[in-house]
Amino acid sequence: MPDLDHKRYVIGLTGGIACYKIAELVRRMLEQGAVIDVVMTEAATHFITPTTMQALSGRPVYLDTWDARIPNSMAHINLTRGADAILIAPASTDFIAKLAHGLADDLLSTLCVAKGSCPLLVVPAMNREMWQHPATQRNIAQLKADGASVLGPASGDQACGEIGDGRMLEPQEILAELIAFEQPKVLAGKRVVVTAGPTCEPIDPVRAITNRSSGKTGYAIAQALREAGADVTLISGPTALAAPYGVARIDVESARDMHGAVMQQAFTADIFISVAAVADWHVSNASENKLKKSADGQAPTLQFALNPDILAEVAALQNGPWCVGFAAETENLNEHAEAKRRRKGIPLLVGNLAQQAMNADDTTFVLFDDTGAHTLPLLPKLQAARQLVQAIAKRLPDRKA
C-alpha cells in the first residue's frame, strides 16, 4: 500500500522561484496515492501556471475567493474540510507574515484562517537575508506557537546567487516529511543507534570477506525510527543504499570499525538496534600488500580471529541503552533465536529466516521477548520496520534501566 493512500491534501503555492519544484512534488505525492487540491496565490502564477498544476494534479486549481465554479462560493471552507493537511510550499516571506497575523485577503490566506483543526505544514523558501530578518524569525516562531509544522529551510545555493539558509527542501525531502508526519510519534525525543548492512573484513588491500546483507532492513528501521520522532544515528557497513532522510550515517567497513563507532555512540543512546550482519571473525594474517599467486601453485592460508560481539558488549554496559538484536537463521528459527537472546542478555530479539529475508523487499519478523515469540505478518520491509518500532515503543521502560 502506498504511504499516502487515501490521504487528501491542499497544496498552497505562494510567490517564489521554488514553485517549479512543486510540479515534481505533486507527481511524487500522486505516486504515493495522495489526492491533491492545488491553491495558488496571484504571485505564484508568475512562477508556474495553473494549467501545469491542473494537468499534474488532475484536479481543478483554485486561485480566487470568488471562483464561480464553486456552487456555494465557499472554496475557503470546503477545501480543507476532510483534508489531512494543508501544505504551503513554497511559503514566501510575505505569506508567512500573513499567516502569522491571521490576514485573510485572498483564497489561500483565508483558507488557512478557516482551516479549523486541519494541520498546517509550512515549507519556507526565500533569500537568506529575508529568512534571517527578525520579522521573519518572529513570524516563524509565532506559526510554531500556533501549532504549524515548519519544514526546513535548507541551506545552500540560492536562485539569487547568494549562499545561505532559506532554500526550500527538495521535493523528495518534503515527501519524506509528509510521510513522517502521518506516522505516530511513539519515540519522540529518543536517541537511537542502529547498525545495518554487512561488514567487510580485509584479506589484503584489494580483497575482502563480506556477506550478502543488503542493508535494506536496517535502513528501513532507521527510516521508521526517524518517522516516529527519534534522533537516529545509522552505523552502516558498505551498502548501495542512500541514507534515509533526516538520519545521520556513519560509514564503517570492518566489524572492528563498527565496534569502535558503536561504543562511541552507545553511552548517549536510549536504544541500540543491532541489525548489521557482523562478521564473527576477521583475517588475523591480512596482508599489507596484495597477495600474489605463488610460483609453486600453493593457495595462501588465511588465519582467523574472533571479532568483538558488539551487541553483547553494549547489552552488558552499566546504564546502557535498551537493546534489540537480530538473528537471521536458516533453520530452527525459534530455538536459535531465543537461545541467542538469552546469551546476549537482551530484552528483544527479532528473528527472520535468512533465505527469505536476505536482499528481499518483504520480510516476516518474529519478535522474541520474555513472554515468548510473536510473529508479525509478511510485509514490505518499511512497513515491517514501522510495526517493529511500535513494538519497541510498547516495551521500552519509562526510564533507562
Catalytically annotated residues = 160
465557499: which residue's cell?
74
Q: Which segment (68-76, 122-130, 235-243, 275-283) binds ligand C5P by CB under 6 A?
A: 275-283
307: contact with ligand C5P by CB under 6 A: yes
223: contact with ligand C5P by CB under 6 A: no
179: contact with ligand C5P by CB under 6 A: no
Measured CA to CA, the distance from residue 90 to residue 167 in angstroms comes to 10
Measured CA to CA, the distance from residue 298 to residue 197 in angstroms comes to 33
Out of 309, 354, 373, 387, which residue is the one contacting ligand C5P (CB under 6 A)? 309
Which residues, 124 to 153, sit near ligand C5P by CB under 6 A?
none
- Least distance between ligand C5P and beta carbon 105 (Å): 58
Grid coordinates representing 387 are 510495526
Looking at beta carbons only, is 211 or 387 nearer to ligand C5P? 211
Q: How many CB atoms lie within 10 A of CB 105?
A: 9
Looking at beta carbons only, is 92 or 195 nearer to ligand C5P? 195
Q: Which segment (47-55, 67-75, 102-110, 319-327) binds ligand C5P by CB under 6 A?
A: 319-327
Measured CA to CA, the distance from residue 239 to residue 333 in angstroms comes to 26
19: contact with ligand C5P by CB under 6 A: no
Q: Which segment (15-23, 109-117, 154-162, 324-332) binds ligand C5P by CB under 6 A?
A: 324-332
Out of 124, 166, 325, 351, which residue is the one contacting ligand C5P (CB under 6 A)? 325
First to last CA, the chain: 38
Out of 87, 311, 367, 376, which residue is the one contacting ligand C5P (CB under 6 A)? 311
255: contact with ligand C5P by CB under 6 A: yes
310: contact with ligand C5P by CB under 6 A: yes
User: Bridge partners of 86?
Assistant: 10, 120
Strands (E), 111-241: 120-124, 149-150, 154-157, 163-167, 191-196, 201-204, 207-209, 231-236
Looking at beta carbons only, is 91 or 376 nearer to ligand C5P? 376
Looking at beta carbons only, is 245 or 272 nearer to ligand C5P? 272
283: contact with ligand C5P by CB under 6 A: no
R_g of the chain computed on alpha carbons: 26
With contact defined as beta carbons under 8 Å apart, do 33 and 59 qualify? no
The half-sphere exposure of 106 on its side-chain side, counting CA atoms within 13 A, is 17
User: Bridge partners of 87?
Assistant: 11, 121
53: contact with ligand C5P by CB under 6 A: no
Torsion of CA 334, 338, 341, 344, to 10 degrees: -110
Q: Count the site residues for ligand C5P by CB under 6 A.
A: 14
DSSP of 6-53, one letter per residue? T-EEEEEE-SSTTHHHHHHHHHHHHHTT-EEEEEE-TTGGGTS-HHHH
326: contact with ligand C5P by CB under 6 A: yes
Looking at beta carbons only, is 38 or 273 nearer to ligand C5P? 273
- Least distance between ligand C5P and beta carbon 310 (Å): 3
Which residues, 331 to 390, sit near ligand C5P by CB under 6 A?
340
- Least distance between ligand C5P and beta carbon 333 (Å): 12
Find, among 310, 358, 300, 308, the residue nearest to 330 by Cα: 358
Give the residues lining the site for ligand C5P (CB under 6 A): 195, 255, 274, 276, 278, 280, 307, 309-311, 325-327, 340
